[in-house]
Amino acid sequence: MRIPFEITILLILCLHNKSYKCHAVHVGCGTRPRKRAKIVGGTDAQAGSWPWQVSLQMERYGHVCGASLVASRWLVSAAHCFQDSDAIKAYMGMRVMNSVSNAAATRQIRRIVLHSQYDQFTSDYDIALLELSAPVFFNELVQPVCIPASSHAFTSGTSCFVTGWGVLSEEGELATLLQEATVNIISHNTCNKMYDDAVTPRMLCAGNIQGGVDACQGDSGGPLVCLERGRRWFLAGIVSWGEGCARQNRPGVYTRVIKFTDWIHQQTKGQVQPLRLSLLVMI
């Protein structure tokens, strides 16, 4: 495995200074510079809280889906968002939906790469990569989220966050302010019982079994992120599907990102580097 440049520098610093304890970090991804230590049932997010959140918009429709920034010129979203061939723009660093002028960066989409095995009937392999027309520069409002290695495990019961501008209730209006909500990872077996075995190994369930909190229309393609060791945020899932919104025993179903780590790396020609938590451990 090729070690990213930032990690190489960190290795050198650690090896030459025995007084420091070194941990696995990837400089740049998964950080929230503006954050000091609708989603249905969520709350308004503060500016800079989720700097990898992207709004994908079509000229005719406005906001259609969410996405996550994973590198300076690459986004990850859901394949089902791209049934329409209309031109799409990506807005980054934005909090207020009705004011696109407040976006920290705007880019045209140069290319959309849908997974070749995507099945629109079962929602299996529901993932897409979007190449931006030009790279974006990272700042306190625009940062990439970390892509987990294929060996990474998001444990059942882990509390994570889903974000987006989707409707605030079934058949409701899109959110004006970016929403955030806490959801828990639900085991594959438990979720499959609730969905009659429709949940494939490429899917991940998260939410509250009692209902009340969930992603909804307009959140599709957006991020489900979990805070891991090293205080970095990792992309665990991509908003994919569910029965209704925030219903009891009908949690949200997400594309399981760890199943696509190699695909993402290959399609971006190494521009997106998955991060292994155990890459650097020294006492």
Which of helix, strand or coil describes residue 44?
Answer: strand
Q: Does residue 55 have an active-site annotation? A: no
Q: Tell me which of 68, 124, 126, 152 is the catalytic residue.
A: 126
User: Which residues make Cβ contacts (< 8 Å) with residue 16, sequence separation at least 6?
Assistant: none
Q: What are phi and psi of 126, to 5 degrees?
A: -85, 75
Is 220 labeled as catalytic in the residue annotation?
yes
Burial degree of 131 (CB within 10 A; 0-12, 13-18, 19+): middle
Q: Which of 80, 115, 152, 219 is catalytic?
A: 80
148-185 in b/e form (b: 16+ CB < 10 A) is bbeebebeeebebbbbbbbbbeeeeebbebbbbbbbbb
β-sheet bridge partners, residue 105: 92
Q: Is 152 a catalytic residue?
A: no
| Alpha-carbon Rg for the chain in angstroms | 18
Compute the distance between CA of residue 152 and CA of residue 157 in angstroms, rounded to an integer. 15
Could you list the active site residues? Answer: 80, 126, 220
